[in-house]
Structure 1
Amino acid sequence: MTAMIEGGPRAAVDVRLRLVRPADAAPLAALCRANREYLRPWEPQRDDAYFTLEGQRGNVRDLLQAREAGEMWPGVILVDGRIAGRITLNNILRGPLQSCFVGYWVARDRAGRGVATEAVRQALDIAFGELRLHRVEAFTRVDNHASQRVLGRNGFTAVGVARRHIYVDGRWRDERFFERLAPWDDGTAPFPPA
């Protein structure tokens, strides 16, 4: 899936998602190192090994194993063909729930340009299309207004606040909880129409 987005006074950029690949370990390690401080307030604490080539090889391997088990859809965000962030559809639940939650980040040099908004839009297409899910959920720290705008632009509804929901940046943080139902939801159909 590709889309062109306008970057204000900058030229339009091509944003697309694809599944993470083993060959992505090196560019992901470099991107994670370059954005370590930028992402620190929003991401769980990572040990130094996570930011190495070997750490990312292990991470990518774990992500792909979780995909094979049907637990997640792990993707990278490409901007003009280069990795600019990560996006995952996590904790895929089947049966009567048919749901997941989306998590994402975009490198500092791509933030505020519509990249995350477009990436989440495309991830919703995957969730509601290819994966045939009924609901996508998201959490943001209550003070992460940029991420809340991304979700709002993609039709998510704020549901409430989960108190002390995640341990990041040295303490337990409250998070705002969002949900988005499939466009085919009619209140009775368990799956999208064939």
Structure 2
Amino acid sequence: MELLAGHRHGKVELRLIRTRDARALQQELLSNRSWLQRWEATIPNGVASFDMRIGIRRLLQQYRDGAGYPFVMLYDGEIAGQLNIWGVSRGSLCSATIGYWVSERFAGRGITPTAVALATDASFTEYGLHRMEICIRPENAASLRVVQKLGFRYEGLRRRYIHIDGDWRDHYAFALTREDVPRGVLARWVEGQAPQDAAAIPPSDRLSI
């Protein structure tokens, strides 16, 4: 499979992850344990490997298999976090899910919404996908702001959906389809055209945090 080209807007860039990124990424994860741990996926009745080199090799194998698109997020040329397009389904579905993390020292600079917009646009225009989903824990206010900014549509509450930080956690599901953003997610957001209420969670689904 041909290697992905990078995607950039301003100081934010997405590029395909490389094995040699392992040291920098592992250093960021270790220095951000208190910031990231409560949002990290875990394995029921098992122990997740913290060997970043092994993790990158697995991500690149998924990429070669057409099952995912693993990126590093760069800010002004410096690694700020990761973004993975995972669970790619082809055929009649043509959908995927986005997951991400960003270092605390880079928070508040618009990196994550920019990266999510870039990744979603690439998925619709280059990778042949039709639908992109993001699932977010109700407690994760920062990630909820990302989908609110970009105008992702709220699609429902998923009970005990993903194993996070040692237990099965509820998640809110948000999505966009290609038809929702004919001019692109990034352009719609930058131009102030993203619907502000698309990600609104109805009172019946709101969980007490």
In the alignment, is residue 44 of structure 1 matched against residue 67 of structure 2?
no
Q: CA deviation at 1:132?
A: 1.6
In the alignment, is residue 19 of structure 1 matched against residue 19 of structure 2?
no
Q: Which string of whole-angstrom CA distances, capped at 9 and with x for unpartnered residues, describes residues 163-187 of structure 1?
A: 111222233211000111114789x
Q: Choose from 61, 66, 74 the match for 1:65.
A: 61
Structure 1 consecutive aligned stretches of length 4 or more whose deviation exceeds 6 Å: none
Q: CA RMSD for the aligned pairs?
A: 1.8
Q: CA deviation at 1:111?
A: 1.3
Q: Choose from 92, 98, 104 the match for 1:96.
A: 92
How far apart, CA to CA, are the structure 2 residues paired with 1:92 and 1:3? 24
TM-score w.r.t. the length of structure 1 is 0.84
Partner of 2:132: 136
- Which AA in structure 2 matches 1:143? E
Question: Contact 1:161–1:176 (CA<8 Å) still a contact in 2?
Answer: yes
Closer, same or farther in 2 for the Cα pair 1:175/1:49, shift >3 Å? closer
Q: CA deviation at 1:112?
A: 2.0
Question: Contact 1:88–1:102 (CA<8 Å) still a contact in 2?
Answer: yes
How far apart, CA to CA, are the structure 2 residues paired with 1:25 and 1:59? 9
- Which AA in structure 1 matches 2:86? N
- Which AA in structure 1 matches 2:29? C
- Number of residue pairs aligned between Structure 1 and Structure 2: 173
Q: Where do 5+ consecutive residues of structure 1 fail to align?
A: 5-13, 187-194
Q: Where do 5+ consecutive residues of structure 2 fail to align?
A: 1-6, 183-209
Task: Determine helix, strand or coil for the equivalent of 1:63.
Answer: helix
Partner of 1:191: none
| Bigger proportion of residues as strand | 1
Q: Choose from 152, 158, 166 the match for 2:154.
A: 158
Question: Contact 1:84–1:106 (CA<8 Å) still a contact in 2?
Answer: yes
Partner of 1:3: 9
Q: CA deviation at 1:49?
A: 5.0
TM-score w.r.t. the length of structure 2 is 0.78
How far apart, CA to CA, are the structure 1 residues paired with 2:28 and 2:42? 16
Aligned-pair identity in percent equals 39
